[in-house]
Structures are given as C-alpha cells and as structure tokens.
Structure 1
Amino acid sequence: MRKQNVVETEPLLYIVQPKAMRAAAHMQETFMWTSRMQQEEEGSSSDERGGEEEPTEFFAKKEFQAMALDERLAFLAELPGHLPPLKCQFVMKDKSYEGILKKCTATELTIADEQGNETVIGRAQLLAVTMIGFMQ
C-alpha cells in the first residue's frame, strides 16, 4: 500500500455570492442593579420622613357571573382601559334595556344604546345585569 499525497486545489467552478451585511442586533448594553440592602435602606428612610404610602387594595378576580349586582355595576362603570365597551342587558321589573353603561350613581344609571341614545333608569328598579358582548 502506498500513501497518497492529498493536495488541496481551488474549486473548478466559482459561484458569485453577494456579500450580505450582517444584521446588527440591538441588545441591552447597560444594566443597573441595586442591592436589597440599599432598597430597604431607602424604604426605611422614606418611612422616617413621614411620607405615608396609600395601602393598595387587592381584590380577588371573580368571573362576571359570580359577582353581585353592585360589583357588576362597579366593574362596568370603571372598565379597564384595555377592554372595549361591553354591551349588557339591564333587566328591570317591567322592561329590559340593552346597551353600554355610561354612568352609574347610587340612585340612577345612564345607559347608551347602539344608536347613542341615552336612557336614565332608577337603580332601585334594576334586578339583573347580563353581559352580551363587546361593542365595536
């Protein structure tokens, strides 16, 4: 057996490739870290200054059907900003209305229908609120 010498040769056929620019990745270049000790010191110093923070209330999230009538009205009156207006059915003793709750006070509700007509009804006459869907 004899050894063969391996010789590197240039390719016989050249295919021209465009030289593409590499995409530049925009990544985070800086990072700031504060230790827990510094945060606790800053928190204790703000308490010493007399600045009281308002206690935040955390409510357990309920389904709309599980809420009481007053909770439903409070939810619809202060609807989160990421939700579109909710069309609901407002059931009273003698009549029912469909529309969006515009304003809710202790004595009356203002409901706007699809055409934009506003109706004011008494809060005491309201029996139930049922969600129909989103308005667009």
Structure 2
Amino acid sequence: MEVVDLLGKNISEYRIGIRGKKLYIPIAFFLIDVCMTNEWMLARSKEPTLEQLSFRLQCVRALLGKYGQAALCPGPMRYCDRASKPVRTSHGGHITVTGNRRRTCAHCRRSKTPVACRKCNVSLHIHSFEDFHNK
C-alpha cells in the first residue's frame, strides 16, 4: 500500500491537467503520468538528487529535439498560416476574389470576410490586403 500511496503523491505534484469529453483522453494522460513518475523513481536510484520537474523537462526536451519541428517562418503565426513570406511579399498576381466562403481574416483575426487573395489563398479584408502583402 505504501508504493501506491507514494505513486499517487508523486503524480499529484506535476499532474498533466487536461480534461476531455471522451473518457480515453484523461486515461491516456494518467498513463503518461504514471510512466513518467515510474521512470523518475528509477532514475532517482542512480541519481538521488534528481528532481521530478527537471526530469520531466529533460524528457520533454529530448522528445522535442528528436521529433519537434522548427517554425515554418519566424514572427507572429497570423502571417505564417497559409502564405509563406516569399509568396506573400512577391509583387505580382495578388488579386482579390469575392464570393468565397466566409473565413477569418488572416491579418486582423477579428472577423470573417468573403474576400480572399487568389495567389496566397487567404481571406483578407479590403483594408488589410495591402498591409498583409507588405509585411
């Protein structure tokens, strides 16, 4: 019973706080917590001063270093969504088309608009069109 209580105490310190409508989501994250805590306890047998938070950070950094991807383009994500910078800032072929499905403006992200740029394939307000293609 001591091991179960110790495991519960260690999991509660750095629990992954995620909630989901589907039952399997919290169960999956609980299993990840159990695995991380068990691995931390095993690592502590070799290095007794290892803290759980630093161990978790090391694991996450190792996973991101192996499987993570660099950002497609630096800066705010609103400019990186669909149009890459070379396409967006080129000075030819940017034509407004209307009658499309209403989508969120790629520049201001506040409201939806039926106007889009044919070359970039992003929705833009008329007043945002020039700003988006110059930045």
Fold match, TM over 0.5? no
- Larger Rg computed on CA atoms: 1
Higher helix share: 2
Q: TM-score, normalised by structure 2?
A: 0.24
Higher strand share: 1
Q: RCO greater where, 1 or 2, for CA within 8 Å and sep 6 or more? A: 1
